[in-house]
Amino acid sequence: EAGVAQSPRYKIIEKRQSVAFWCNPISGHATLYWYQQILGQGPKLLIQFQNNGVVDDSQLPKDRFSAERLKGVDSTLKIQPAKLEDSAVYLCASSSSSGAAYEQYFGPGTRLTVT
């Protein structure tokens, strides 16, 4: 079974530029999550999708961040315009809707550096 795919793996941009990250979850996983992980900290949930609907985006800075999951499969997270404090690893995860655990499976992440 293929894991969660993310691209790009690394991105360097200047502040005020735009950037987009892509995630393809494990096949059949209805729930998709985007996390921001700043160096030395634990992941912070940005947005959670159930199929193509948003379940939780309470910690998404909506003035600059946006995300979509149009067909309930892959997802894109965008930052426009980027700030220095957006430098972080952006992790995508997915989980199944069956079973008791609903454990999340993570992709390799995209390391963003804003200069």
Partner 1 sequence: AQKITQTQPGMFVQEKEAVTLDCTYDTSDQSYGLFWYKQPSSGEMIFLIYQGSYDEQNATEGRYSLNFQKARKSANLVISASQLGDSAMYFCAMREGRGYTGNQFYFGTGTSLTVIP
Q: Which residues in the 56-95 window bind partner 1 by CB under 8 A? A: 56, 89, 91, 93, 95
Two tokens, residue 21: 């990250």
Q: How far is the CB of 106 from partner 1 (least distance, A)?
A: 4
Task: Map tokens 């499976």 to a residue.
Answer: 105
Binding marks (x or -) toward partner 1, 13..52, rule CB under 8 A? -----------------xx-x-------xxxxx--x-x--
Two tokens, residue 72: 């309930």
Mapped onto helix, strand or coil, the DSSP state of residue 113 is strand
**Beta-sheet pairing, 10-13 with 110-114:** parallel
What's the rounded Cα separation, in Å, for the pair 12 and 32? 25
Given candidates 13, 78, 106, 113, which one binds partner 1 under the rule CB under 8 A?
106
Q: 41 or 63, CB closer to partner 1?
A: 41
